[in-house]
């Protein structure tokens, strides 16, 4: 199978500190969290505005834990993640991602609204018709990048690894300007909301780029 | 190799990675990360990482001989990197005391402090140190690192909770790990965040702060943080590694500076900074010190400080205690350099101490700037991610009482020139 390409207008992500106890509750046995500090793991929220894919345009929200990458022959990835909840704005996108990538999904469509301002981007997400989260990230300097990441998936059929190349213009900083509001929603049922620090220690924003997925590797 | 990996490999460059990429790696072999790290480091070192761990060929006075990590050539440089804040380590009295001690005791202690490694000079030193700190007793450790690791793990246990500033030194974090206590980090110098995290936590609680934080050179917001700590029934440890012998009317540290010396529960410091030696200590009640003597494993299971070093430290302590003019001279130098940096538009962040970060704020340029500065006669260290946040890279300066105004002017001229050439300051 060849590379699968997803073009995006924007992707924003925030890395938030949350307790390793919480990370372990969402990780399957055998996958360890990458700890930022002793006892503190990294909750990554990634929100995509895809404008090109096999299933058309759609929005996607990913809740993930940053985990150690698998070291193999070839280039070392920038980082790796275990997505434990993925939500999309369309049924077609959801079915495609479950079938091809074995990603664990929120099984209803969500609404994602992107608010672009001069130096910041906000994404508002609704699930079941009610606000689930709002995340704002701020820009820094922009650089064209080609970064490799890994994503681990696990479902009843087995464990999988996706190698994903992100290409496009990227802004990244640790200025602690952004913010997340996590609402009391079933969408956030796996989180202890009071224990997620509301300011991301790292904010990333990519625009006018693409994700290139290698064929899924069964582990 | 798969397609995405192959495409990525073709665009690989050392600057895309840093130390943080080589800390964790999944797989079945613990040496899996050695090869990728070696490949990266082979490229990174000549591109700037050679500026770390350069060998010195002289005493850490205001001027040092440094073996250039890239060329191997010796350079005579103005020293802005050593912790020798009071210029004591090479004082004739200190060297004479160490020489006399090596004649009397030989090289090392040859034993654990609780068995055969305690000498008369250790007892004399700890007694004088306790008097200096105005505490009942003191206990010394082989290093500052082992002081934090040993003290925190001596006092705290599984089921307890330790609250650490997010910029805590690695030795404090490692002490908390060894204690097996729950560890909660609060935002740097932020009493409101500490309060939020202390609320509703039951059981034994320890809050750990530092007098001066070593990467930003900012003082602890001690009055506010201590008030929150006490209100929630927690105890406080202050690590005065960079502030003992410098701050306060008697040089006891930041706690004394704020008039809170008696309110802070536990006091820790080092001898590697202002005394220019090596080792760490805890000062407090006799009961506390007796307990740490019994349960401080990093001390108990290490060889004691060399009596030679201890004799030198004793002489250094007497100088620090009896010559307040050294502190005055240091603070005069700090004020001078701060004013001159401001006049030149050089950003030193939040520093209000003798540790000054010259902010470069550009991870890609920091090594080039540091290299240029070294080649123009200054010895200082670049600091970049992950030691500090991304894009907060800096050059760290340690001011000494021994620096002359001419030294400081040279520093301003060289640093300002290099930063302007790179478009980092006006």
The dihedral built from the CA positions of residue A12, A17, A19 and A23, taken in this order, carries a sign that is positive
pLDDT value at position B26?
80
Nearest CB among A34, A39, A75 relative to B5 is that of A75
Within 8 A of B392 by CB-CB distance, chain A residues are 174
The conformation of residue A61, written as its DSSP 8-state character, comes to E
What pLDDT digit, counting tens, does each position of B88-124 carry? 999 999 999 999 999 999 999 999 999 999 999 999 9
The conformation of residue B306, written as its DSSP 8-state character, comes to P
What is the number of other CB atoms lying within 10 angstroms of the CB of residue B372? 18
Please determine, for residue B160, whether its predicted confidence score (pLDDT) is greater than 50.
yes
What pLDDT digit, counting tens, does each position of B326-343 carry? 999 999 999 999 999 999
Is this model's pTM higher than 0.90 or not? Answer: yes
Q: Residue A35's beta-bridge partner residues?
A: A41
CB proximity B31 to A under 8 Å: no
pLDDT value at position B30?
87
Nearest CB among A79, A148, A202 relative to B5 is that of A148
Q: What is the mean pLDDT of residues B148-177?
A: 97
Please determine, for residue B11, whether its predicted confidence score (pLDDT) is greater than 90.
no
Within 8 A of A3 by CB-CB distance, chain B residues are 3-4
Which residues of chain A are under the pLDDT cut of 70? 1
Mutation target for B interface from A71, A163, A193: give the one with most B CBs within 10 A: A71
CB proximity B36 to A under 8 Å: yes
Contact B87, B402 (CB under 8 A): yes
Nearest CB among A39, A71, A141 relative to B183 is that of A39
Within 8 A of A214 by CB-CB distance, chain B residues are 2-5
pLDDT value at position B1?
45
Confidence category of residue B182, pLDDT binned at 50, 70, 90: very high
3-state secondary structure of B288: helix
- Give B8→chain A minimum CA distance, Å: 6
pLDDT value at position B12?
47
Contact B189, B211 (CB under 8 A): no
Mutation target for B interface from A39, A82, A149, A201: give the one with most B CBs within 10 A: A39
Confidence category of residue B15, pLDDT binned at 50, 70, 90: confident
Tell me whether residues A140 and B391 touch, CB distance under 8 A. yes
What is the ipTM, given to two decimal places?
A: 0.87
CB proximity B199 to A under 8 Å: no
Tell me whether residues B4 and A163 touch, CB distance under 8 A. yes
Contact B163, B208 (CB under 8 A): yes
Tell me whether residues B8 and A72 touch, CB distance under 8 A. no
CB proximity B26 to A under 8 Å: yes
The conformation of residue A216, written as its DSSP 8-state character, comes to P
Residue with tokens 């005579």: B76
Rounded Cα gap, residues B33 and B24, in angstroms? 8
Cα nearest neighbour of A31 on chain B = B26
Confidence category of residue B2, pLDDT binned at 50, 70, 90: low
Nearest CB among A37, A70, A74 relative to B27 is that of A70
3-state SS track over B322-379: HCHHHHHHHHHHHHHHHHHHHHCCCCCCCCCCCEEEEECCCCCCHHHHHHHHHHCCEE
Share of chain B above pLDDT 70, in %: 97
- Give A54→chain B minimum CA distance, Å: 18
CB proximity B390 to A under 8 Å: yes
Rounded Cα gap, residues B249 and B366, in angstroms? 37
A67's CB contacts (< 8 A; 6+ apart) are A27, A31, A32, A33, A34, A80, A81, A82, A152, B26
Confidence category of residue B200, pLDDT binned at 50, 70, 90: confident
Structure tokens at B283: 């000062």
Within 8 A of A32 by CB-CB distance, chain B residues are 26
Within 8 A of B182 by CB-CB distance, chain A residues are 39
Cα nearest neighbour of A150 on chain B = B5
- Give B20→chain A minimum CA distance, Å: 10
Contact B281, B139 (CB under 8 A): yes
Rounded Cα gap, residues A122 and A134, in angstroms? 7
Please determine, for residue B312, whether its predicted confidence score (pLDDT) is greater than 70.
yes
Please measure the distance between the N-terminal and C-terminal CA atoms of chain A and give it in whole angstroms: 17
Q: What is the mean pLDDT of residues B43-49?
A: 90
Mutation target for A interface from B15, B17, B26, B171: give the one with most A CBs within 10 A: B26
The conformation of residue B315, written as its DSSP 8-state character, comes to H
3-state SS track over B145-208: HHHHHHHHHHHCCCCCEEEEECCCCHHHHHHHHHHCCEEEEECCCCHHHHHHHHCCCCCCEEEE
Contact A73, B1 (CB under 8 A): yes
Nearest CB among A34, A174, A214 relative to B24 is that of A34
Give CA separation, B259 vs B114, B248, B249, B322, B361, in Å: 35, 8, 9, 21, 35
Contact B327, B87 (CB under 8 A): no
Tell me whether residues A2 and B176 touch, CB distance under 8 A. no
Nearest CB among B16, B25, B389 relative to A69 is that of B25
Please determine, for residue B126, whether its predicted confidence score (pLDDT) is greater than 90.
yes
Cα nearest neighbour of B1 on chain A = A74
Tell me whether residues B1 and A202 touch, CB distance under 8 A. no
Please determine, for residue B4, whether its predicted confidence score (pLDDT) is greater than 60.
no
A191's CB contacts (< 8 A; 6+ apart) are A18, A22, A43, A182
Structure tokens at A140: 């820094």
- Give B149→chain A minimum CA distance, Å: 14
What pLDDT digit, counting tens, does each position of B215-263 carry? 999 999 999 999 999 999 999 999 999 999 999 999 999 999 999 999 9
Within 8 A of A68 by CB-CB distance, chain B residues are 24-26
């Amino acid at each position: 199978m060849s590379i699968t390409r997803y073009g995006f207008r924007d992707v924003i992500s925030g890395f938030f500190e949350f307790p390793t106890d919480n990370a372990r509750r969402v990780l399957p046995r055998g996958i360890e969290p990458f700890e930022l500090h002793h006892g503190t793991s990294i909750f990554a929220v990634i929100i995509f505005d895809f404008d090109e894919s096999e299933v058309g345009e759609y929005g996607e929200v990913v809740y993930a834990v940053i985990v150690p990458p698998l070291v193999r022959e070839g280039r070392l990835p920038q980082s790796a993640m275990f997505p434990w909840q993925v939500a999309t704005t369309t049924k077609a996108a959801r079915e495609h991602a479950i079938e091809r990538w074995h990603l664990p999904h929120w099984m209803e469509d969500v609404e994602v609204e992107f608010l672009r301002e001069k130096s910041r981007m906000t994404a508002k997400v609704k699930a079941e018709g009610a606000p689930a989260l709002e995340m704002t990230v701020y820009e820094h300097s922009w650089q064209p990048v080609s970064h490799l990441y890994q994503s681990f998936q696990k479902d009843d059929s087995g464990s999988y690894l996706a190698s994903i190349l992100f290409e496009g213009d990227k802004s990244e900083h640790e200025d602690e300007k952004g913010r997340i509001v996590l609402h009391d929603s079933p969408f956030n049922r796996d989180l202890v909301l009071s224990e997620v620090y509301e300011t991301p220690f790292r904010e990333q924003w990519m625009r006018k780029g693409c994700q290139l997925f290698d064929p899924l590797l069964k582990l | 190799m798969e397609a995405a990996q192959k495409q990525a490999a073709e665009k690989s460059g050392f600057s895309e990675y840093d130390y943080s990429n080589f800390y964790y790696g999944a797989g079945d072999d613990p040496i899996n990360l050695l090869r990728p790290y070696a490949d990266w480091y082979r490229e990174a070192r000549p591109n700037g990482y050679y500026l770390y761990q350069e060998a010195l060929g002289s005493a850490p006075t205001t001027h040092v001989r440094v073996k250039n990590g890239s060329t191997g050539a010796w350079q005579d440089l103005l020293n802005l990197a050593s912790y020798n804040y009071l210029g004591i380590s090479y004082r004739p009295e200190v060297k004479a005391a160490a020489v006399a001690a090596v004649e009397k005791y030989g090289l090392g202690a040859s034993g654990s402090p609780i068995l055969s490694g305690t000498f008369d000079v250790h007892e004399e030193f700890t007694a004088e140190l306790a008097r200096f700190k105005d505490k009942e007793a003191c206990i010394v450790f082989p290093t500052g690192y082992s002081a934090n690791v040993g003290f925190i793990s001596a006092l705290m246990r599984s089921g307890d909770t330790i609250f650490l500033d997010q910029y805590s030194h690695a030795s404090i974090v490692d002490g908390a790990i060894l204690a097996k206590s729950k560890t909660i980090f609060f935002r740097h110098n932020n009493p409101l965040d500490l309060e939020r995290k202390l609320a509703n936590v039951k059981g034994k609680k320890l809050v750990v702060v530092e007098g001066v934080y070593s990467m930003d050179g900012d003082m602890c917001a001690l009055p506010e943080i201590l008030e929150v700590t006490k209100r929630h029934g927690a105890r406080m440890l202050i690590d005065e590694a960079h502030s003992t012998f410098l701050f306060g009317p008697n040089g006891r540290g930041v706690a004394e500076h704020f008039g809170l010396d008696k309110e802070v529960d536990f006091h820790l410091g080092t001898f590697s900074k202002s005394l220019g030696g090596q080792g760490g200590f805890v000062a407090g009640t006799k009961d506390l010190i007796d307990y740490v003597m019994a349960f401080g494993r990093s001390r108990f299971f290490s060889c004691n400080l060399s009596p030679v070093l201890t004799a030198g430290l004793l002489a250094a302590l007497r100088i620090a205690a009896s010559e307040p003019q050294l502190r005055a001279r240091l603070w005069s130098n700090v004020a001078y350099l701060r004013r001159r940096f401001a006049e030149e538009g050089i950003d030193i962040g939040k520093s209000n101490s003798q540790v000054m970060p010259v902010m470069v704020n550009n991870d890609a340029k920091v090594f080039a700037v540091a290299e240029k500065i070294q080649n123009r006669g200054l010895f200082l260290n670049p600091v970049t991610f992950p030691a500090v946040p991304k894009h907060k890279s800096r050059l760290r300066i340690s001011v000494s009482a021994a620096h002359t105004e001419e030294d400081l002017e040279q520093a301003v001229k060289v640093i300002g020139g290099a930063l302007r050439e790179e478009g980092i300051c006006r």
